[in-house]
Amino acid sequence: MSRQIIIDTDPGIDDAMAILFAFKAQALTVLGLTTVFGNVSVAQSTRNALSLVELAGVPVAVAEGAATPLQMPARSHPDFVHGKDGFGNIGWPAPRGEADSRSAAQFIVDQVRAAPGKVTLIALGPLTNLALALELDPGIAPLVEEVVMMGGTVHTTGNVSPVAEANIINDPHAADAVFGAAWPVTMIGLDVTHQVLLKAAVLERIQQANPDQGDFLAQAAQCYFNFYRGAMGIDGCFFHDAATIAYALEPSLFGCRHGAIRVATEGLAIGQTMMAPEGRQFAEPGWEDRPMVKVALEVDDVRVLSLFEQTLSGR
């Protein structure tokens, strides 16, 4: 039985890897892509999501979402990582399709209400659309099968500040609301994505087996590889967004702990994801009555990369 997912996304080179991975995975049915600001503007995210749907040749709806965070001004888009177009400045042609008339939040509510207990939300960008869906219809939380989100870090150094990961710092208020809602959340953060290094050779092999999508990924990833080489001296790139798809397909590839997660919404630590481990009591207020979040801390990097390559190679 195929798992039904909605991918909330800000494509984004690693978002594109995740989305094409999900489209190719027979055990997943993608009900729609919902878009959000982040790596690029939301308008560019929507164009890119439509392009990925066309590239894969799948009949998947795209619904546009939030252009800004819930409460604070938007941060600048990281064009030095993903290029101005989010696809590594490769001059990819504009899509022909159009977005759904509904907002991302409304699309999420409609899909969850139509299939209670059966829809998983995979979030690859700032969590604004998920928070807006909760505002629109708080009753959806217990009806969602699982929220699997890429973002945050508990033990690993952040990638925007020493303590903050990009998706969380882009809308910390939304993230704190999502971690506090009555749905089961699994956090795939830097603790695991920094343990998985994707090298160019994997994309080259995918390119040979699946030239249409492989050519696109190999071209777009050049910009991403250049960033990692220049900024960190790394030969390859960290496997961020696509790790959520690996988790959705094969949760046993990840080792997880449970705890309450709070997000710092101001000050030097803004965007920090803090974990209170399950079973611990603290004198400080703010941690009581928070739901347990499943936090990935270990990962089988070899099997994750092999699942990605085999799925995208169509084997």
Long-range contacts of 201-209 (CB under 8 A, 24+ apart): 202/305, 202/308, 202/309, 205/309, 205/313, 206/309, 206/312, 206/313, 209/312, 209/313, 209/314, 209/315
- 38 sits near ligand RIB (criterion: CB under 6 A): yes
**Consecutive H or E run containing 298:** strand 293-299
155 is catalytic: no
- 112 sits near ligand RIB (criterion: CB under 6 A): no
- 15 sits near Ca ion (criterion: CB under 5 A): yes
Q: Pattern of binders to ligand RIB over 255-294, x per CB under 6 A?
A: ----------------------------------------
**CA 292 to centroid of chain Cα atoms:** 20
- 85 sits near ligand RIB (criterion: CB under 6 A): no
Burial of 67 (0-12, 13-18, 19+ CB in 10 A): middle
- 300 sits near ligand RIB (criterion: CB under 6 A): no
- 171 sits near ligand RIB (criterion: CB under 6 A): no
Strands 293-299 and 254-263: antiparallel
Give, as ranges, the residues between 77 and 136 that touch Ca ion (CB under 5 A).
124-125
Residue of 106, 111, 128, 167 interacting with ligand RIB (CB under 6 A): 167
Q: Pattern of binders to ligand RIB over 188-227, x per CB under 6 A?
A: ----------------------------------------
CB of 38 to Ca ion, least distance (A): 6
Of residues 55 and 168, the one with the C-beta less far from Ca ion: 168
DSSP bridge partners of 261 = 275
Residue indicated by tokens 């347990």: 292
Nearest to 135 by CA among 192, 191, 173: 173
**CA 232 to centroid of chain Cα atoms:** 22
In the complex, the residues that contact ligand RIB under the rule CB under 6 A are 12, 14-15, 38-39, 124-125, 150, 159, 165-167, 240-241
As annotated, the active-site residues are 10, 240
